[in-house]
Structure 1
Amino acid sequence: MCYNIFIVETVCVAWFSLEFTLRFIQDRSKLAFLRQPLNLIDVVAILPYYITLVVDSTSKGEKRLGSGNSYLDKVGLVLRVLRALRILYVMRLARHSLGLQTLGLTARRCTREFGLLLLFLCVAIALYSPLLYLIENEMAATQEFTSIPATYWWAVITMTTVGYGDMVPRSIPGQVVALSSILSGILLMAFPVTSIFHTFSRSYVELKQEQQRVLQRRTHFLLRSRMAGRGSSSRSLESDALFPPRGAADAVRQGKA
């Protein structure tokens, strides 16, 4: 059913594999090359295709997946997980996208700010969830919050987004608690935003300047190579004029004679 898509994926994976192999061969430090995050993403994105081919070819004569054999069921689950990892092909755009590179560099530099944000959210969720659960169980006519862990889900989607509406407080005190959780979520999300924004803008400027320096080096290298080629050709002409070959020198001598 997906034969055409399989052909397109085969061509793309072959191209990615060739590119990765050539970059791995020409790199001097193989271990440092494999430690780079983007190269690891390339490996994780390319390997599932080959593993899927091997497993499919070896399990052709076996029973159909999901037919009661626990081993084959596990293999089928692994195959589905590997096929889902193909979405990592999108991460290859980070090599050519300045915005994605800036996003990754910002996330790496702002680990402390993200950790503080998660800490603030966890503390607020741990405060509001039991409070709302107790209020709703005591005062609401219909109980939508079955447990405190279920109320955690409500607190997460309320403090980080606008909420899904699947769990809503019915009592007036519960709605007051929900309003306070919404406002506190907005404030908590706003605390580290300024630092993250400044880091993002600084990282973007640094990466852009680095790209400009790389382009300047390439242009200088091309200009030097062209000038060197022209200089070598002019030097060869001067040397031919000063020291002509034997045949030309003999012809000149015979003409003079």
Structure 2
Amino acid sequence: MTKDITKVTPYNSETSKKSQVEDMFDNIAPKYDLLNHALSMKIDVLWRNKLVRMMKTDVPKEVLDVATGTGDLAIAVEKGTQANVVGLDLSQQMLNVGINKIKKLNLDRKISMQKGDAENLPFEDNRFDAVSVAFGVRNFENLQKGLAELRRVVKENKSVYILEFSKVEGFLGPFYMFYFKNILPAIGRLVSKDNRAYTYLPDSVNAFPFGEKMKQILSDTGFRKVEYTKLSFGIATIYKATK
């Protein structure tokens, strides 16, 4: 039986999922970019670029990137759309890495980074032309509340773009899950020195409601149109939810 995504936590401690997620990303921040690109063989870059191409058709002027981490998607959005981007994340250590990256690219006038909670966004209603989240909604303590907040701050008739892991189906499924559950966590532990962070990743992906289930959740949240695109045999999926 699939676990409730809200019950899957990084450290299985008594503290809230939100607090554990913040601690986890603070712990792995220095090695995050290295591990992320190495373990995905940079396929994640192609996925982000696909999301940006989809968003570009909306011609956004101001974009919110939630769970921005070290800013990879925020940077891709700015480069692909020329929009001003606000990046928001729970983890200050991840943001610090992103701030340095953005300064080196001379994008600090176009991209601002701030600490904040996706489930209590510090922005007014109908503020942004687009909202994006890459690999972050799995980590929400309350998925519906977080999605409702994304919907609240995006303008009417504009869209929220969510890039998230899903599950490989068909004959490749078992091979991918072996890599995901055994090889990836072993490399993650070795490099990041965090014993749980890269075990939490496959656990949270297994519990996440992908595809039609996620589409239904987004519809139930109040989005009037939801569509999704599978990427790389279903390893990841982009959801476009229009307010």
Determine which structure has the larger strand proportion and give its number: 2
Shared fold (TM-score, shorter chain, > 0.5)? no
Could you tell me the TM-score, scaled by structure 1's length? 0.21
Using CA pairs below 8 Å that are at least 6 residues apart, which structure has the higher relative contact order?
2
Could you tell me the TM-score, scaled by structure 2's length? 0.22
| Larger radius of gyration between Structure 1 and Structure 2 | 1
